[in-house]
């Protein structure tokens, strides 16, 4: 769980962010210098150096009712016009001035949204969007995804890694977290254990992950997270940023077998000196709401959950850029409903979950600009446009 000590640390260096942001918008700092520091706070400058973005970090993309209310209030308070869903299950607000970026950073913190580490070379994890509600799943991975997310918030202050470190954890059916080609990924097996993959990634010289462990008990996943962070810190390339990702590391270590040997040795050491076993009850999120089953409500955007009489609605705006008017209408309605949450998907959609059939119909009606075909669901980085 996120301790008060960690919360204090997540806001302690805010004055540094405030100082650099003021300097940048006064033209006293270059884009490159600002980017090198501001990314760690979830913010980057945009083209022209007159505006910037604010990235809001949500564990596994989960937005509670309180988060949804805060988002709606912020859209109105700051007249936010460009709201973007990211492949890292975050929200990005674009076209902001420096003062707005700083205000949002502090207000997010006050509402339990910790944007420290939401950008830059900080570790990040994405998780199956339907965890806990998928009728096909045999294990709810929610406690383990949450534990990893919170663990990473702490570890970024202690372990210096060469560059980005992306993680994925899936429920065995939903492949959107891309667990098999992340820097570290956990793929749930039919035995309710995880197969672990490392050193994968897309971009230049893409690589499928190397299998480093099989049938890992869910309670033990943090041992593998700590192990891979340590291997990357000790053997990653700090000199050449173009090769400072884990997918280049095995070749530089002498091949996959040499990498696996180092990984296994490090894992044994971590298990000997650390106590990282997860108690899933500490992270449980029970859904007690029920409804009446209504098959007529199901379509290409509304689907049945495993909970009796409950449904989820997919809202997938083209390019991941939300229509603010439609988004606000959906948020305003959702926050009035019992146990309803929103989840940002790795394919840039927003899912409203724990809905009765009538509630699902209404959410779908309010978000009727959602993509109607696979082309309009294409994943698109917002970077080139801003």
Answer whether residue 380 is part of any domain. no
- Whether 87 and 140 map to the same domain: the answer is no
Nearest to 120 by CA among 158, 160, 154, 85: 160
Which band of pLDDT confidence, cut at 50, 70 and 90, is reported for residue 92?
very high
Distance separating the N- and C-terminal Cα atoms of the chain = 36
- Whether 22 and 65 map to the same domain: the answer is yes
The pLDDT value given to residue 152 = 94
Answer whether residue 289 is part of any domain. no
- Whether 102 and 142 map to the same domain: the answer is no
pLDDT in tens, 134-152: 999 999 999 999 999 999 9
Distance CA 16, CA 139 (A): 42
- Whether 338 and 314 map to the same domain: the answer is yes
Alpha helices (H) along 26-130: 31-38, 65-78, 98-110
Distance CA 297, CA 284 (A): 29
The pLDDT value given to residue 385 = 85
Q: Give the H or E element holding residue 63.
A: strand 62-63
Which band of pLDDT confidence, cut at 50, 70 and 90, is reported for residue 30?
very high
Out of 250, 283, 316, pick the residue that ends a domain: 283
Hey, what's the torsion of the CAs at 312, 365, 176, 202, to 10 degrees?
A: -160
pLDDT in tens, 271-316: 999 999 999 999 988 999 999 999 999 999 999 999 999 999 999 9
- Whether 167 and 244 map to the same domain: the answer is yes
- Whether 87 and 183 map to the same domain: the answer is no
Q: Encoding tokens for residue 245?
A: 């990702």
SS3 90: strand
- Whether 143 and 271 map to the same domain: the answer is yes
- Whether 142 and 33 map to the same domain: the answer is no
CATH number at residue 171: 3.30.413.10
HSE toward the beta carbon, residue 10, CA cutoff 13 A: 26
Which band of pLDDT confidence, cut at 50, 70 and 90, is reported for residue 380?
confident
Answer whether residue 373 is part of any domain. no
- Whether 140 and 244 map to the same domain: the answer is yes
Supply the mean pLDDT for the chain.
95
Answer whether residue 124 is part of any domain. no
Whether 174 and 186 have beta carbons less than 8 Å apart is answered as: no
> What count of other Cβ atoms lies within 10 Å of the Cβ of residue 94?
20
- Whether 310 and 279 map to the same domain: the answer is no
- Whether 258 and 331 map to the same domain: the answer is no
Distance CA 57, CA 39 (A): 12
Q: Which domain covers residue 192, as residue numbers?
A: 134-283
pLDDT in tens, 316-375: 999 999 999 999 999 999 999 999 999 999 999 999 999 999 999 999 999 999 998 889
Q: How many domains does the chain have?
A: 3
Answer whether residue 384 is part of any domain. no
pLDDT in tens, 257-276: 999 999 999 999 999 999 99
- Whether 74 and 200 map to the same domain: the answer is no
């Amino acid at each position: 769980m996120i301790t008060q000590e960690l919360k204090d640390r997540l806001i302690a260096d805010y004055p540094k962010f405030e100082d650099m942001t003021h300097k940048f918008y006064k033209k006293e700092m270059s884009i490159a210098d600002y980017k090198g520091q501001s990314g760690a706070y979830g913010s980057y400058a945009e083209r022209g150096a007159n505006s910037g973005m604010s990235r809001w970090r949500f564990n596994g993309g989960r937005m509670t009712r309180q988060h949804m209310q805060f988002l709606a209030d912020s859209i109105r308070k700051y007249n936010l016009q460009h709201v973007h869903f990211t492949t890292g299950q975050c929200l990005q607000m674009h076209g902001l001035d420096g003062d707005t970026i700083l205000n949002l950073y502090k207000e997010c913190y006050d509402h339990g949204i910790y944007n420290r580490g939401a950008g830059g070379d900080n570790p990040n994890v994405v998780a199956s969007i339907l965890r806990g509600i998928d009728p096909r799943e045999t294990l709810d991975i929610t406690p383990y995804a949450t534990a990893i997310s919170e663990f990473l918030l702490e570890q970024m202050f202690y372990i210096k890694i060469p560059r980005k470190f992306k993680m994925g954890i899936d429920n065995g059916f939903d492949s959107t977290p891309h667990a098999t080609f992340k820097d570290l990924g956990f793929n749930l097996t039919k035995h309710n254990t995880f197969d672990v993959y490392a050193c994968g990634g897309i971009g230049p010289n893409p690589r499928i992950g190397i299998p480093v462990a099989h049938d890992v008990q869910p309670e033990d996943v943090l041992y593998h997270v700590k192990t891979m962070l340590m291997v990357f810190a000790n053997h990653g390339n700090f000199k050449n940023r173009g090769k400072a990702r884990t997918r280049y590391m095995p070749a530089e270590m002498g091949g996959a077998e040499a990498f696996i040997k180092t990984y296994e040795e490090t894992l044994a050491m971590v298990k000997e000196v650390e106590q990282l076993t997860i108690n899933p009850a500490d992270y449980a999120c029970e859904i007690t709401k029920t409804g009446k089953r209504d098959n007529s409500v199901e379509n290409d955007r509304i689907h049945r959950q495993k909970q009796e009489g409950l449904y989820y609605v997919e809202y997938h705006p083209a390019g991941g850029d939300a229509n603010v008017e439609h988004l606000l209408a959906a948020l305003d309605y959702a926050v009035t409903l019992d146990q309803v949450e929103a989840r940002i998907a790795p394919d840039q959609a927003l899912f409203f979950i724990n809905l009765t059939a009538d509630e699902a119909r209404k959410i779908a009606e309010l978000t009727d600009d959602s993509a109607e075909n696979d082309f309009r669901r294409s994943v698109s980085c917002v970077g080139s446009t801003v």
